[in-house]
Structure 1
Amino acid sequence: MKPSRILAPEIPVLVLGTRRAVWLTADGEIDTLDLRAAQRRARDEAPLVAHGRAVARRLELRDLRAFDALELFAFTCPGQFCLPTPRGLMMALGLGRAGSLEDQAMGLADSVPVLLDRIQRQATPILAELAQLMAAGDWPWGPAVLAALGAAPLPGRPRRLSGLDIWSRLPEWEEAGPVEPPSHYPVDPADARGRLAELVQGRARHDASSANGAPAAEARPQQADYASAVSAAFAPKAAPDEPNLVLAEAGTGVGKTLGYLAPASLWAERNGGPVWVSTFTRNLQTQIDGELDRLYPDPRLKAERVVLRKGRENYLCLLNFEEAAQTVLGNPANAVGLGLMARWAMATKDGALVGGDFPGWLVDLIGRAQSLGLADRRGECIYSACPHYSRCFIEHSIRRARRADIVVANHALVLVQAALGGLDDATVPTRYVFDEGHHLFEAADSAFSAQLSGLSAADLRRWILGAEGGAGRARGMRRRYEDLVAGDDAATDDLQAILVSAAVLPGDGWLHRLAEGEPRHPIEKFLALVRQQVLARAQRPEANYDLETERQPAIEGLAEAALEADQALAGLEAPILRLVKYLAKRLDEEAEELDTAVRTRIEAAIRSLERRAVITLAAWRAMLKDLPQATPEGMVDWLSISRQDGREVDVGLHRHWIDPTEPFAKAVVTPAHGVVVTSATLTDGTGDAGVDWQAAEARTGAVHVAAPAIRARVPSPFDYANQTRCLVVTDVRKDDLDQVAAAYRELFLAAGGGGLGLFTAISRLKAVRERILAPLDDAGIELLSQHVDPVDVGTLIDIFRAEEDACLLGTDAVRDGVDVPGRSLRLIVFDRVPWPRPDILHKARRQDFGSRGYDDMLTRLKLRQAFGRLIRRAGDQGVFVLLDPMMPSRLYGAFPEGVDIRRVGLKEAVEETKYFLRPEAE
């Protein structure tokens, strides 16, 4: 037996509660402190904590020298799930589930030898070299980790990057031959039911063998009906421009994910082509990927058949990582964060920095520059000219997607790529499933809109010129393209002309110059007048939120400035168009001579130029030319100032489609062969089935498709009448935040936790939080808050899901993204009716889509989405409370049939909540 080299440091442990802290001394004594006393002790000693930066913020310490257990976990268990709390760390390591702060402190102390023991068992020369680099960067865990690995510290400053050189140790992908187009064999409804039965049985086996005690899969006849209905989208296309479009509403609990995966996977296997499953958020992508474990229980087979696709900006760029790693030789402190990233990069499944196996809390621990900042967020990829091209995570996922059965993407990627004319490799899928289809309208709105603003123009300048003044590592067009034009004088001159002309775009300090009235060049001068018009006409220009105004009538000089800006952009556009033409000519004339790598680079360069510059400049110039006259039909333009925390961050001119599903239908649906659009909240809730389906067709673009859509609706199997209570509180003034906070407090206490508080404004959320934090803490109820707690929304929801009696406050992202079955979510409190914001864009759409009826539809949708969070499986119970006496009865259709909506006073709502959720308390 190998002798143990575990040398756990003798250090105190610090765990924070809401208003008190527990300090466990190195000798094992426990002290209970207030937060001010904890601040003083943490300043004098280096304690063991979980999530050091969050602890520092809570204690109002600018710098906290601490041993962060999460850093040790990230080093030891890269890519493994862990909640960033003492309880989460204990659960991840199998150390039980702590209740009190004292138990959490002892559990945190116990985690260190467990992690060091795992490190000792992982010992390799490469891991030792990485630990040496990190220790040289003054990593607090360095001595203990080196001891566990049996390695000595470096004798001086690092002289090489052994351990960080991940680019040399990742597997290479290989090019394959062209992919044949898919066949057209249909999926029979009966076959879809059969495949569904296989999936459900696979889920039952998975759940029965899981360690978390999850119940076996429930038999759902509605799910089989749903699978039969959506199989119609996988029939052969009968006529050009007439795809098989199925709109399928599946009530909560039907199990729509497995329901559509059944026919989708069958079609892919029979026809040799991929089905693209698109959902609204990257977290939902991960959930769908988990469901596919039932279809492909063998991880190796699943890796061949299933691919998660995200935009390039979501993946680790190996060239960016290498350039960041080089800084370690001059600044060893950088080795700590980069070392943790290297550990993850060698363990990750696909290299995605958002969702998947990348821990969101790691960004907060090591900073954005050494984590998310290492992605290609500005389109600076040099493709096959990159020395790491054959190991690139992004290129690997693109190639895997060509031959996969199921590609799980998100609406943003699918729609943006469609708006630009194709995917990264210029392919266009023929079969889609759009899950969370009620979000397609807003996703299309984002994808098919245009914005000429200071930030977007400065971003284009950076993409063209790279980092200016010698700062940063951004790669400009010269580095990306100069070897592609070498030897052609005209093309070289065009490249140089682009670099010179880019000076018309806003550079560093543009926002300050606008505020000081000292703009440079035509673009900044135009934006300065935009800013002037917005401030002159906004109702409350001193307010902290975003400001906007119509573009007509324009103030003096704005129309002339727009035309001058257009001419400046024309000077930039012309050489870019010539360069694109030259590169396309090379592909044609040198077809026999170009090797694959150069051809790939030229194709990628053309796509980048068209997407980043040609399309963008054309949209900007169109808006500028139109400014002196009427906005084109079907569009709405406006001017804005964007603010963040009360300070200006952007100024711009915007253009949106009034109905963005029109370009969506043209670019995505019509060219496809089969499309499923599905959601639990696809139709409206007016009570008139025809009107409700018309709303669904308008919001999904079905009205712009030649052939009529197939409609399918499968009701929820849940007994909402007995499983839920729906209460509208009539005696709380929604504009009195003291009353609103008191209502939240009493309702959360009545439920004993498990409450989700939803808000229509961040300011209201923060005000209520301040008022209820202490009384909930006195009752032993932890309060989590979006926009306050220093973790991303996904992690916040994970913590809420794991803590059965915690409460969570949030806004739209929480309302749409929570999937918390069981008692962890048993109460939802909405602060007021979520009417749409009456901005310029909404005003235009309201006129086009039906005035008050349009407002009602959007509001019912938000209420339906919120209520749908409450019951996620058959045994759940929950109470939904709306704190708004002005809730009109015409919105009651937002709630499932059979739910009794009662208008009550707060006292009765509290009593009903306690009685229904905690009958033992009566």
Structure 2
Amino acid sequence: MSEIVPFRRPGAATVPDAAGALRTAPPSLLLPDAPAIVVGARGVTWVTPDGEVDLLPHDEAAWRLRHQNVILAHARAVGRRLRTDRMADPFDLLELYAFVRPARFCLPTPKGLADALGLPAPGDPEAEALSLIDSARALLSELAGNNQPEDGAGRGRQPHERSDPAGIGWFMGQAGWPWTPSVMAALGLPHGPGDGRARRGPMVWNHLKEWQAEAPEPPPGHVPVEPAEARWRLAELVGSGHGVEPRPQQADYASAVSTAFTPRDEQGVPNIVLAEAGTGVGKTLGYLAPATLWAEKNNGPVWISTYTRQLQQQIDKELDRLHPDPSVKARRVVVRKGRENYLCLLNLEEAANIAHTQPAYATAIGLMARWAAATRDGDMAGGDFPGWLVDVLGKGRTLGLADRRGECVYNACSHYTRCFIEKSVRRARKADIVVANHALVMVQAALGGGDDAYIPTRYVFDEGHHVFDAADSAFAGHLTAAEAAELRRWLLGAEVSGRSRARGLQRRVEDLVGGDKVALEQLQEIRQAAQILPGEAWAQRIHGGEVKGPLEAFLAGVRAQVLARAPGVDNPYSLETECRPVAEGLVDLALDLDAALLKLAMPLEKLADRLKEMLEEEADELEAETRRRMDSIARALKRRAQNEVTGWRLMLQSLKDETPRKFVDWFGIERIDGRDFDTGMYRHWVDPTIPFADTVGTAAHGLVLTSATLTDGTGDVEQDWRAAHLRTGTVHMGGAALRAAVPSPFDYASQTRVLIVNDVRKDDLGQVASAYRELFLAAGGGGLGLFTAIQRLRGVHERIAEPLEEAGIPLLAQHLDGMDVPTLVDIFRGEEDACLLGTDAVRDGVDVPGRSLRLIVFDRVPWPRPDILHKARRNYFDKVAGRKGFDDMITRLRLRQAFGRLVRRADDQGVFVLLDPMMPSRLLGAFPEGVEVRKVGLAEAVKVTRGFLAPDDTAR
């Protein structure tokens, strides 16, 4: 460490403790005496504390990192790029940022840190390395400046602080966190805080606000929202920004959507609006106008559902217009997600206890504690949780602290009244707008309400083109080793000491059933029957060992059939094969398993029934929260018994009989990076919008399904709307849906260019990589490269990373950089000249206005993967539509979605390039009317790209 001049401030006293050691001192800046490094494709920029700069080869830098501490940003990403996981304890600036600024955003790069801290943007790798030192100095100065003089009890911190930075920092330092000396110096406590504060530091739950029980909300009213009222509210929303009047298209859209906010006339038949709004219309404010007005008039919430977390955040931000006061907005607007997305305080407490004896956990737990004390709502899948923190600290020590397996003990938990999930559920009951996601909405509707048995009456499904995919996931059945092992953990809890914090069913219900003989007998039956489910080391047994029980025997048989019949068993991709004809002996194994699962389903159902009986028998004695907990557990047991175990039994029985026509079954082996991850039998609805209509549709009074890409692009208006009805399930809901189509205000013909390159062989990866390189260079960065296969993405990245870096263009890549898609998109958005390579998830999740996204390159026509499920759906939907076209419909949708990323505001420009000469003309309806699609050679495509995207002072 090198001591910098003390950061002096009046009042920072120096006080000796009982042993005479200094307990407090003037805050000072103590920077690490270590080099700062930045990794590039060509090498590693290495800046010593004396200011010497070297460019080292990757292998030499990796060797040095094993023996020397360095200052860097994102140690795991650096390790991946250097292909090493052996590193001396580095000074990771992201860890320091998460400590000093918990629940605050920054991009996880040197430039991102500099920007967040208000420092000059570094322009090259040497400047980036030096900026890391400046960022460390700024963060430590901020910590010192925010730190008020403290007494021995830790009093005197900033009013907004709900955690003790000195206690947590010292707790982390006792386990070797390298930043602790710097942190403690900045806090004026170089010798530690003393008085047990390190032990108490992570216990932030004690400082969180508790919720209070309140009376149930009455059902909402039925007062309609008139079109003129929707227009008035829209003008209010738009006007609260910068005095801008609502656009005519936006007002027309709001008027149309208001139809869903009128009383329904027939049970089970909602008022439906299918609304397609082109990019730039402003559909978010368009539907929020009637939605917020209906909520206010009827004292009931409207649920806005999205497919991506990015849109959830965008909607939440838009509502600042209506509720600029954060305290008011917190009451009126709630972001809801599934329980598995929120930090569980009991898990945090147990992890903190483990960290006291296992130091490897201390850094992660300390940073999670700092975030837990500062977070708005405890949401770890978006919100104010930095996505990069998962990669920095590891999934198990971040996302693993959520209730990911339904193990909540509800009001038996000591943290129940401070629980983030319970707060969210309660706030949602009283909110005007609940911003949720498709998966949560569908699961809650299927289960009769989820956490609190509440089912809304009004929904808006934004990104409505994804309703089909979301329903496909929500209503599928998977009889696999991983799913069955998860059920075993839910029922039996942790069976190997120290390996898991899982709490079994008995722990969750034992205080509820007390000495009830019937319930205790059912619990014992469940424990015995659950032994058939896969336990520890199931993979080794299924892959060729001695299997235990009928379920592992069945799965071993499934695996054998897949390996015997599936093509390409030696490739790294997942495998699948049809169930029929069933291999010899497998039907008998299925029937044996069916009988064993019946013995599990019966006591699950009986225990659920017994809990319901106890609710009635002890109605005059049970507290409200205990009643809610018993009801929730009873419904969870019913769901596990009926939807899961009985669903598995029906799948097994069909192997002997016949699969119902509404389903498609197959056997599969799931692989990740070439490693077998799961094995089992899969069942999906051929048309998953049928159960969506039966659950969400029948319960809703009003339903809006909206997107910029609802209809197809065949050119036949009626046929294009027919596709929208099929994809959203409105054909199964009865009644007539109101159709509304509002075109984009953008001039795509002048703002975009669409090029199909006809002289690059798409099966020659060298040619494909060269095309990406030259196009990205021609655009000067700002390019999004989309791929239909991960292997092709990796091959292109390997070939183009170095030449792009030489040109000053950073290259990001999904599946290679180790960060989640939202974080990669954030970096891409924040660095104007960066390029990003990705697959479907990037295509659907990108919202990047401005020059940061000015070029899209698709490696080939994105035809749907011809797997067993797709084959069944193609046959079904082609028959329903009376013509072939299911493949074309999906492909046009993917192209439309990709093209729609280019222009997000009126002054955007962009080029769309497809490297596939086999693009059929019937798919050109994916592009807006008036846009010229040119088939050109690569050289011409590069010329057009450079000319169209050149700066203003360059001749075009």
TM class by smaller structure: over 0.9
Q: Note if 1:223 corresponds to 2:250.
A: yes
Counting only pairs closer than 5 Å after superposition, residues 468-547 of structure 1 correspond to structure 2 as: 468-470=495-497, 471-547=499-575
Distance 1:129 1:160, change over 3 A: closer
Deviations 1:181-215 (A, max 9, x none): 1111111111111111121122327xxxxxxxxxx
Provide the rounded CA distance (Å) in 2 between the counterparts of 1:336 and 1:544.
Answer: 35
User: 1:172 — aligned with what?
Assistant: 210
User: 1:843 — aligned with what?
Assistant: 871
Counting only pairs closer than 5 Å after superposition, residues 809-820 of structure 1 correspond to structure 2 as: 809-820=837-848
Distance 1:906 1:331, change over 3 A: same
Shift of the alpha carbon at 1:784?
Answer: 0.7
Deviations 1:771-795 (A, max 9, x none): 1112212211111111101211101
Provide the rounded CA distance (Å) in 2 between the counterparts of 1:862 and 1:408.
Answer: 25
State the SS of the aligned residue for 1:879.
strand
8 Å contact from structure 1 (residues 751, 827) kept in 2: yes
User: 2:938 — aligned with what?
Assistant: 906
User: 2:160 — aligned with what?
Assistant: none
Shift of the alpha carbon at 1:44?
Answer: 3.5
Shift of the alpha carbon at 1:152?
Answer: 4.3
1:119 to 123, 139, 143: 143
2:349 to 322, 339, 344: 322
Q: Note if 1:194 corresponds to 2:217.
A: no
Segment of structure 1 superposing worse, 60-69 or 407-416: 60-69
Aligned AA (2:70)? P
User: 1:780 — aligned with what?
Assistant: 808
User: 1:50 — aligned with what?
Assistant: 73
User: 2:35 — aligned with what?
Assistant: 12
Shift of the alpha carbon at 1:806?
Answer: 1.0
8 Å contact from structure 2 (residues 27, 187) kept in 1: no
Q: Note if 1:150 corresponds to 2:188.
A: yes
User: 1:355 — aligned with what?
Assistant: 382
Counting only pairs closer than 5 Å after superposition, residues 350-389 of structure 1 correspond to structure 2 as: 350-389=377-416
Shift of the alpha carbon at 1:401?
Answer: 0.2
Shift of the alpha carbon at 1:435?
Answer: 0.3
Shift of the alpha carbon at 1:658?
Answer: 0.8
8 Å contact from structure 2 (residues 168, 198) kept in 1: no
User: 1:237 — aligned with what?
Assistant: 264
Deviations 1:247-270 (A, max 9, x none): 000001111111111110111011
Q: Note if 1:181 corresponds to 2:219.
A: yes
Shift of the alpha carbon at 1:120?
Answer: 1.7
Aligned AA (2:82)? L
8 Å contact from structure 1 (residues 249, 680) kept in 2: yes
Counting only pairs closer than 5 Å after superposition, residues 59-138 of structure 1 correspond to structure 2 as: 59-64=82-87, 65-123=89-147, 125=154, 126-138=164-176
Provide the rounded CA distance (Å) in 2 between the counterparts of 1:520 and 1:54.
Answer: 40
Provide the rounded CA distance (Å) in 1 between the counterparts of 2:67 and 2:645.
Answer: 57
Provide the rounded CA distance (Å) in 2 between the counterparts of 1:473 and 1:802.
Answer: 39
8 Å contact from structure 1 (residues 161, 326) kept in 2: no
User: 2:17 — aligned with what?
Assistant: none
User: 1:915 — aligned with what?
Assistant: 947
TM-score (normalised: structure 2): 0.93
Provide the rounded CA distance (Å) in 1 between the counterparts of 2:647 and 2:111.
Answer: 51
8 Å contact from structure 1 (residues 136, 153) kept in 2: no
8 Å contact from structure 2 (residues 257, 275) kept in 1: yes
Q: Note if 1:426 corresponds to 2:473.
A: no
Shift of the alpha carbon at 1:525?
Answer: 1.1
User: 1:283 — aligned with what?
Assistant: 310
Provide the rounded CA distance (Å) in 2 between the counterparts of 1:306 and 1:22.
Answer: 47
Shift of the alpha carbon at 1:159?
Answer: 9.2
Distance 1:652 1:333, change over 3 A: closer
8 Å contact from structure 1 (residues 726, 899) kept in 2: yes
Provide the rounded CA distance (Å) in 1 between the counterparts of 2:631 and 2:312.
Answer: 29
8 Å contact from structure 1 (residues 133, 154) kept in 2: no
2:473 to 422, 446, 450: 446
8 Å contact from structure 2 (residues 264, 701) kept in 1: yes
Distance 1:48 1:429, change over 3 A: same
1:435 to 448, 462, 474: 462
Provide the rounded CA distance (Å) in 1 between the counterparts of 2:188 and 2:248.
Answer: 59
Shift of the alpha carbon at 1:730?
Answer: 1.0
8 Å contact from structure 1 (residues 758, 809) kept in 2: yes
8 Å contact from structure 1 (residues 49, 68) kept in 2: yes
Provide the rounded CA distance (Å) in 2 between the counterparts of 1:94 and 1:237.
Answer: 53
8 Å contact from structure 1 (residues 159, 329) kept in 2: no
Provide the rounded CA distance (Å) in 1 between the counterparts of 2:819 and 2:433.
Answer: 31
1:461 to 482, 488, 492: 488
User: 2:836 — aligned with what?
Assistant: 808
Aligned AA (2:806)? D
Segment of structure 1 superposing worse, 100-109 or 864-873: 100-109
Shift of the alpha carbon at 1:619?
Answer: 0.4
1:33 to 21, 32, 56: 56
User: 1:701 — aligned with what?
Assistant: 729
Provide the rounded CA distance (Å) in 1 between the counterparts of 2:123 and 2:324.
Answer: 35
Deviations 1:112-135 (A, max 9, x none): 221112212333523222221111
Provide the rounded CA distance (Å) in 2 between the counterparts of 1:105 and 1:773.
Answer: 20
1:872 to 879, 904, 907: 904
Provide the rounded CA distance (Å) in 2 between the counterparts of 1:582 and 1:637.
Answer: 35
Aligned AA (1:202)? S
State the SS of the aligned residue for 1:766.
helix
2:923 to 888, 891, 898: 891
Segment of structure 1 superposing worse, 462-471 or 872-881: 462-471
Q: Which runs of 5+ in 2 are unaligned?
A: 1-8, 11-25, 155-163
Shift of the alpha carbon at 1:317?
Answer: 0.3
Shift of the alpha carbon at 1:725?
Answer: 0.5
Aligned AA (1:54)? A
Provide the rounded CA distance (Å) in 2 between the counterparts of 1:194 and 1:400.
Answer: 28
2:650 to 622, 625, 633: 622
Provide the rounded CA distance (Å) in 1 between the counterparts of 2:672 and 2:165.
Answer: 42
Deviations 1:873-904 (A, max 9, x none): 00011110111111000000000011011111
Shift of the alpha carbon at 1:677?
Answer: 0.2
Segment of structure 1 superposing worse, 371-380 or 158-167: 158-167
State the SS of the aligned residue for 1:638.
strand
Shift of the alpha carbon at 1:218?
Answer: 7.8
Provide the rounded CA distance (Å) in 1 between the counterparts of 2:818 and 2:768.
Answer: 25
State the SS of the aligned residue for 2:501.
coil
Aligned AA (1:57)? R
User: 1:210 — aligned with what?
Assistant: none
Deviations 1:672-726 (A, max 9, x none): 1101000000000000000000000011011011111000000000000000001
Distance 1:822 1:586, change over 3 A: same
Counting only pairs closer than 5 Å after superposition, residues 723-802 of structure 1 correspond to structure 2 as: 723-802=751-830
8 Å contact from structure 2 (residues 234, 246) kept in 1: no
Segment of structure 1 superposing worse, 788-797 or 148-157: 148-157
State the SS of the aligned residue for 1:518.
coil
Shift of the alpha carbon at 1:545?
Answer: 1.1
Counting only pairs closer than 5 Å after superposition, residues 405-420 of structure 1 correspond to structure 2 as: 405-420=432-447
User: 2:200 — aligned with what?
Assistant: 162
Aligned AA (1:167)? W
Counting only pairs closer than 5 Å after superposition, residues 574-653 of structure 1 correspond to structure 2 as: 574-653=602-681
Q: Note if 1:856 corresponds to 2:872.
A: no
Segment of structure 1 superposing worse, 669-678 or 160-169: 160-169
Shift of the alpha carbon at 1:219?
Answer: 5.1
Provide the rounded CA distance (Å) in 1 between the counterparts of 2:271 and 2:191.
Answer: 65
Segment of structure 1 superposing worse, 629-638 or 344-353: 629-638
Distance 1:160 1:913, change over 3 A: closer
Shift of the alpha carbon at 1:409?
Answer: 0.4
Provide the rounded CA distance (Å) in 2 between the counterparts of 1:57 and 1:780.
Answer: 21
State the SS of the aligned residue for 1:663.
helix
Provide the rounded CA distance (Å) in 1 between the counterparts of 2:63 and 2:613.
Answer: 69
